[in-house]
Structure 1
């Protein structure tokens, strides 16, 4: 057997091993996205709001730690608090993963902490709004840390030319899982009497089973992904330091790659808008438009189904026109959709379904392409800490968007004003992203630039 044949065989073995690892990586999207969909997007917002209202005083306020909070603002404030906690932990986890090359044990700990907190939401009933807020903070923060570690595998398990496709397939798997579980949730919720449970119990079962799904399917990526240590550029990594100091150290390092930092700033802004729409849409539908819970579940199911095709379609557009142009087009669509949402008539489900369809077509693709695009801008050996910074605004964990949404409602008492206030995130994000010369940014990070970006 000649040398060329041996080398070709090794390349084939390497490609097969990479594909096996990619298939395992997809399964974490399959595992975690059910939490993002069933818990954060559909059930927990309206349900926790109703629990807070049951515990509210005659003026409609609850008093966690003696602080007066309008019951309708408790859920978005809890989401914001979870991000603050995640910001403290993510840089530590990312730096530790880069320094030791052992992302998988950290991924396991954070994933199962989040899954356990989600399963514990079965016990959220009566007036236990504080329990609900605490479990939300733990689950959301843990999910954010786990997602940053999971995303950091992307540049290690895929070649530059295939990252848009790999990332898009992961998102598509996540939305497919979300759709599948939502069908089961809808059957249980609408037929709760025939199953012999109350509406409240049905919601709590849906919340808890999302945690069991997350923990169960997380076993597959944990079995297939492998740890590897890639030396970082430049000097040896500094020892891990606490919380905000580690974050500051990562940001200082990013100053050596200003174009990477420019992209991240644009992403953090427009993704704040995306994630706040995801986390607050069900509250808007139930509280402002007066829609039934079954209508909201059906709308989110529609989003999940269309997002599978949308993610794959935008991945195809990125291969043809480049990821940057495709994302910019999706931001235009987000802005128009959100502005139209302000004018939705109350009590008219069909228009809410139209809005959901528009969201579904751009949701998965804009997120998947942002992830793959950022993977090109990370210096080798620093995937963990850079994706920790990236994850701070991902998957419903943005703090500024929910805070703006909650404050707008608290000041105006109108969810319409709260939802339309989010347009600013898409407009500013579009301008900032359009100004980033991405091909130069990839080269400056020390990575090979794909043919189209």
Structure 2
């Protein structure tokens, strides 16, 4: 909010408080709403990749392509390794995440150092969208092409979203952050759901359009990349280059300004070589040990959200291979998830205003355990039951993730938003790796997707137990951030 530059001095008296200019305050409010809308549309844009590619079409389709290339034993041999064709997709997701960890951490450090959050965020989004559009050429037995494009797109997606999360502390006050984060997730599910509706219509009408089912799927995959690229233009125009809190907050107790901090939020050492960012990354990783409570929360999140993301990314594979669901039923179920998740995100955001984010997240994890158990006993070839399960997932999905994001934003030392959110993003939408690895190994050993899905219970149980131990108020105070009224 803008104020007059100096205090007024009445005759023979002390200086009065600075006067707030109403017009300037109104301008600040409009500017903030403009930035918030740009941030919401960023979720709207990238949700297409998460929903259409990772959640619905790519898992079953890439698995079918891998099976076309499999030998008599049902194995494929990427890089000389022998793996089941049915495990290729989850293994590729895990591999892409292992690579993305280093890329995210380095990029987050560069962003905080140079103040070029927006340029890097949108740049990686455009790279990911091009790789996604390239999936149109995934046909026949080109499973290696599909794997390569998935790796590139998933890394770009992870980095772009991590950088977008870094904007949250600067877009809302401590008490408003849960609501803003929940609204962002709601926009994401609305955007992803809208594109899925169009893709469902395309897939259902592929015969009338003279297309085979494989071509229809490839068009749907490419459409997600086009959607992602087009709507990324909005945050490119509306968000400032630097994310996070004003720089004067970066010297608060428990926080250290980045080398790139300079007055008015400009980058101080933007022209230094990347080697400086590598050294800064090393200092960042060492400095994180000064905030063990933040790391404890991060450990809890990485665990339970790995389970969440594995359920989301492998649900279509489980539905098609284990429950015998047709592609139409899978897309319809994901649409239900998208619609219900909008309501779930907003509902759990309201609940958090009354009971606090931590309690609400813990309650949602109990809901996830119940949902996973019901999924294990789900009868095959029963779309109605599958749709009911989708509604249960949607109810807890949006809220648990939106509140986890906003709660973590309170635990970050000011000035280090992109770096810390890069670690956070290791287990966010589409970037979990432990869960897909466990899921793939369980199927590799048992040959049953039911065993694979129930193996994910351990992530929710351990995550719940660790989160229960986190003293959130003390963790926020330790990094020097204002404590919200309700936690």
TM over 0.5, shorter chain: yes
The CA deviation at 1:6 is: 4.0
2:276 and 2:82 map into 1 onto residues whose CA distance is 32
> Is this contact kept in 1: 2:95–2:151, CA < 8 A?
yes
SS at match of 1:161: coil
Query: Which residues of 2 match residues 27-66 of structure 1 at below 5 A?
Result: 27-66=41-80
1:335 and 1:248 map into 2 onto residues whose CA distance is 37
Q: Which moved more, 1:122-131 or 1:227-236?
A: 227-236
2:352 matched to 1:318?
yes
Aligned to 1:23: 37
Aligned to 2:224: 210
Aligned to 1:7: 21
* Aligned mate of 1:350, from 373, 379, 384: 384
> Is this contact kept in 2: 1:79–1:397, CA < 8 A?
yes
Aligned to 1:430: 464
2:328 matched to 1:294?
yes
2:172 matched to 1:150?
no
SS at match of 2:370: helix
Aligned to 1:404: 438
Would the alpha carbon gap of residues 382 and 421 (structure 1) be closer, same or farther in structure 2, given more than 3 Å must change?
A: same
> Is this contact kept in 2: 1:87–1:243, CA < 8 A?
no
Aligned to 1:449: 483
Query: Which residues of 2 match residues 238-277 of structure 1 at below 5 A?
Result: 249-277=283-311
Would the alpha carbon gap of residues 17 and 346 (structure 1) be closer, same or farther in structure 2, given more than 3 Å must change?
A: same
The CA deviation at 1:8 is: 3.9
- Which runs of 5 or more structure 1 residues have no equivalent in the other structure? none
1:32 and 1:424 map into 2 onto residues whose CA distance is 29
> Is this contact kept in 1: 2:109–2:281, CA < 8 A?
no
User: How many residue pairs were aligned?
Assistant: 453
1:117 and 1:244 map into 2 onto residues whose CA distance is 27
2:256 matched to 1:234?
yes
Give CA-to-partner distance per residue, 1:359-418, whole Å, 9 cap, x none.
Answer: 000100000000000111111100110111110111021111100000000001000000
SS at match of 2:175: helix
Query: Which residues of 2 match residues 352-371 of structure 1 at below 5 A?
Result: 352-371=386-405
Aligned to 2:125: 111
Give CA-to-partner distance per residue, 1:137-165, whole Å, 9 cap, x none.
Answer: 00001100000101001111211111101
Q: Over aligned residues, Cα RMSD in angstroms?
A: 1.9
1:297 and 1:170 map into 2 onto residues whose CA distance is 23
> Is this contact kept in 2: 1:92–1:240, CA < 8 A?
no
The CA deviation at 1:253 is: 1.4
Would the alpha carbon gap of residues 335 and 241 (structure 1) be closer, same or farther in structure 2, given more than 3 Å must change?
A: farther
The CA deviation at 1:183 is: 0.9
1:235 and 1:351 map into 2 onto residues whose CA distance is 52
> Is this contact kept in 1: 2:258–2:415, CA < 8 A?
no
The CA deviation at 1:194 is: 0.4
2:330 and 2:25 map into 1 onto residues whose CA distance is 49
2:62 and 2:282 map into 1 onto residues whose CA distance is 34
2:258 and 2:168 map into 1 onto residues whose CA distance is 23
SS at match of 1:372: helix
SS at match of 1:58: coil
2:284 and 2:311 map into 1 onto residues whose CA distance is 29
SS at match of 1:255: helix
> Is this contact kept in 1: 2:256–2:413, CA < 8 A?
no
1:160 and 1:241 map into 2 onto residues whose CA distance is 35
SS at match of 2:324: coil
2:175 matched to 1:141?
no
The CA deviation at 1:237 is: 4.0
The structure with the largest alpha-carbon Rg is 2
Give CA-to-partner distance per residue, 1:112-158, whole Å, 9 cap, x none.
Answer: 11000000000000000000000000000110000010100111121
- Which runs of 5 or more structure 2 residues have no equivalent in the other structure? 9-16, 261-272
Give CA-to-partner distance per residue, 1:218-258, whole Å, 9 cap, x none.
Answer: 00011000023734633754986599987654332111111
Q: TM-score, normalised by structure 1?
A: 0.97
2:97 matched to 1:83?
yes
SS at match of 1:218: helix
The CA deviation at 1:9 is: 3.6
1:337 and 1:246 map into 2 onto residues whose CA distance is 42
Aligned to 1:132: 146
1:329 and 1:93 map into 2 onto residues whose CA distance is 34
The CA deviation at 1:88 is: 1.4
1:41 and 1:244 map into 2 onto residues whose CA distance is 34
2:176 matched to 1:162?
yes
